[in-house]
Amino acid sequence: MSESIDHLRDTFRATGRRWTSQRRLILGVLEESDIHLDAETLFVRAKARDSDISLATVYRTLGVLKEMGLVEEHSLGEEHAHFEAVRDQPHYHFVCLGCGRVIEFDAPQMAQIEQSVSKREGVCVTDIHLRLSGYCARCQETMGGQCGDQE
């Protein structure tokens, strides 16, 4: 896990919560995944390791982990949310409208935009979400190389 187990246990205790084996399992599954998981897929992966875990526990745990800033929830163009463990470095998402593929990318320019908006408007930015939508190279190929307003 990205944070030490002792640190996470202390973080949970400081907020009056328990650091349970099921919470540890769910966060571990998210950190190990190379894709963004929806709650049901997360449940299936966690259940393979702990047959006693329930879907309700997964949903409750996701809520707690989000509230504590350990997990991010993303809307990636589907009717349900996807989740991932928070990383040290910010990153953003491109979602293909053709095949649904999600491509993560860095955008150092976002820090400059954040500073500019903060200074100009006198605001304190606490979070940035950037999602680009369009067509990946593979889908553009099947569309005849066109990228535009085809949906």
- Write down the pLDDT at residue 61: 93
Taken in order of first residue, the domains within the chain and their CATH numbers are 5-85 (1.10.10.10), 92-142 (3.30.1490.190)
- Give CA–CA dist 25/61, Å, rounded: 10
122-132 pLDDT per residue, tens: 999 887 878 88
SS3 143: coil
Beta carbons of 139 and 96 less than 8 angstroms apart: yes
pLDDT band at 107 (very low <50, low <70, confident <90, very high): confident
pTM check: above 0.85: no
Q: Rounded to 10 degrees, what is the CA torsion of 104, 105, 110, 112?
A: 160
